[in-house]
Amino acid sequence: MSYLTVITIASITTQIFFHPNSRRVDKFLKLTDTIGLSAFTLIGIKVADSMGANVPVALLLGVITIIVGGIIRDMICNEIPLVLQQEIYISAALAGGILYFALYNLGVAVWVADICTMSAIFSIRMLAIRYDWQFPSLEWRR
């Protein structure tokens, strides 16, 4: 089955079962965004690590992966990018990346470190969505 077929089936299923004005769509999109956040952060970190990058650079490349992907997604949807809002987004990715390298340096099996990293990023982001955790906004005062 090709990627095009999978994407088409998923798109049609989403359009049939989720009305555009439904709150379920927002919850579903945030859930899938969080899954993508955890997966692509880990992929970016692992690719950078496999190329011999040091820890700060690998963390930066993992974060850049999700930032660029999120900005492209939000531009296509004609929305303000999540990374430019007060959302707990990059912080969750950084925390998960730091956990990955901590577990890696402790000698934990790679698959366990991967699962723990993705679970930590997913949990932090979902808790932030559920309890409406946000960073304070900065105001310029004269």
- Band (pLDDT 50/70/90 cuts) for residue 92 is very high
Quote the percentage of the chain above a pLDDT of 70: 92
Residues 6+ apart with CB under 8 A from 36: 66, 69
- CA distance linking residue 130 with residue 101, whole number of Å: 27
- CA distance linking residue 142 with residue 138, whole number of Å: 13
Domain boundaries, the chain: 24-130
* Per-residue pLDDT tens digits for 1-34: 677 788 888 877 776 676 666 566 678 788 888 9
Quick check: 44 and 62 in contact, CB under 8 A?
yes
Residues 6+ apart with CB under 8 A from 139: none
- Band (pLDDT 50/70/90 cuts) for residue 43 is very high
Quick check: 101 and 130 in contact, CB under 8 A?
no
Q: Please give the span between the terminal C-alpha atoms of the chain, in angstroms, as a whole number.
A: 60
